[in-house]
Amino acid sequence: MTRTDRIAAELKDVTHAALITSEVSRQYACGFRSEAGVVFVTRDKSYFLVDNRYYEHAAQQADGVEVILLSDLRKQIHAIIEEHGIKVISIESKSVTVHELEDHKKLFPNLTIDASDWLSSTIEKMRIIKSAEEIKKIEAAQRIAEAAFSKLITNIRAGMTEKQIASVLNFYMMDLGADGLSFDTIAASGVNSACPHAVPTDKQVENGEFLTLDFGAVVDGYHSDMTRTVVIGKPDEEMTKVYNAVWGAQTDAMKAVHADITGKLVDSVARSTLDAWGYEKYFTHGLGHGVGLEIHESPTVSAKSPFTLHEGMVITIEPGIYIPHKYGVRIEDMVVVTTDGCLNLTKAPKTLIYI
């Protein structure tokens, strides 16, 4: 079954349709990336209405849909509605704005607009389990990020600014073939590394400091995500202890991952290890999150996670220690959940690197 077939199978009856308008959901539904267009799913047939910027490529690449050159959305979509006898249209509640909802009501004045979470949740449940092809794309993005990191660590030196280091890393990822960056690269040194989501600044990196690098590449819409913490010069005894505590927490958490374990329990394993080292109070965020067409997506792996892990989920495992006014350490890998464990997609070494 195509993905639109799977969505169609979830429709209530033949008078029910789904209107997919968000960029991520459109790509997931028909396998074609575009900044515009709508996917319209009925029980019998699905359509992708897109303008002439994308039409030719969409006609060749989109899967499970009839591609229609968009000229007059109102006229074209009403023709489809009439053909299929549609009475109820579900929209993506988690991405549609209030303004867009009002536009939908004007576009479909005689139909029932279902603005519940049904469609968003249906697509989210499909997306949370990755296919072999999706994992292949995520892994390709990860290989680019790792190669860029490998090049970067031979070119970092004391005196460079965080902004310069982030810019060089970004250049390497794009030069190695990334379609884009997963998110704004984090390069945080010294006291700045104590902030989990620090923004690169004009601060120069200095000898005796940690440098945390959090970054990722995009391949065909799919993201990678990794974090490595290196040290400029040589670490002192306490810095080495902190690093080893984080590494140990990540190792233990990854050993705990398998299908049917809860996100809460995996998170608690990492916290227990950090507690044994005396640093649990300095771990201030969740252990991980899903990765795919978005850099942060379901499931969550945290103390409040409502999710049970299942085979085919791709998640990060990223414990950290953040000591205020001092420094921070984070190590992050991406893994695929398997029946009896997990497959680590991240191949970059975790032994503390001295720059």
Q: What is the pLDDT of residues 223-271, one digit of tens each?
A: 999 999 999 999 999 999 999 999 999 999 999 999 999 999 999 999 9
Domain count within the chain: 2
Query: Residue 300: what residue type?
Result: T
CA torsion, ordered 288, 293, 295, 297, to nearest 10 deg: -40
- pLDDT for res 9: 97
Averaged pLDDT, 89-115: 95
Averaged pLDDT, 129-148: 98
Averaged pLDDT, 295-320: 98
Q: Output the average pLDDT for the chain.
A: 97
- Which domain range does residue 98 map to? 3-127
Determine phi and psi for 101, rounding to 5 degrees.
-60, -45
Both 241 and 136 in a single domain?
A: yes
Give the residue from 309, 308, 333, 306 showing the smallest Cα distance to 319. 333
Both 163 and 121 in a single domain?
A: no
**Would residue 233 count as lying in a domain?**
yes
Q: What is the pLDDT of residues 207-231, one digit of tens each?
A: 999 999 999 999 999 999 999 999 9
Give the residue from 263, 264, 265, 259 showing the smallest Cα distance to 312. 259
**Would residue 355 count as lying in a domain?**
no
CA torsion, ordered 134, 138, 143, 145, to nearest 10 deg: 160
| Last-in-domain residue among 86, 104, 127 | 127
pTM assigned to the model? 0.94
**Would residue 339 count as lying in a domain?**
yes
Both 114 and 225 in a single domain?
A: no
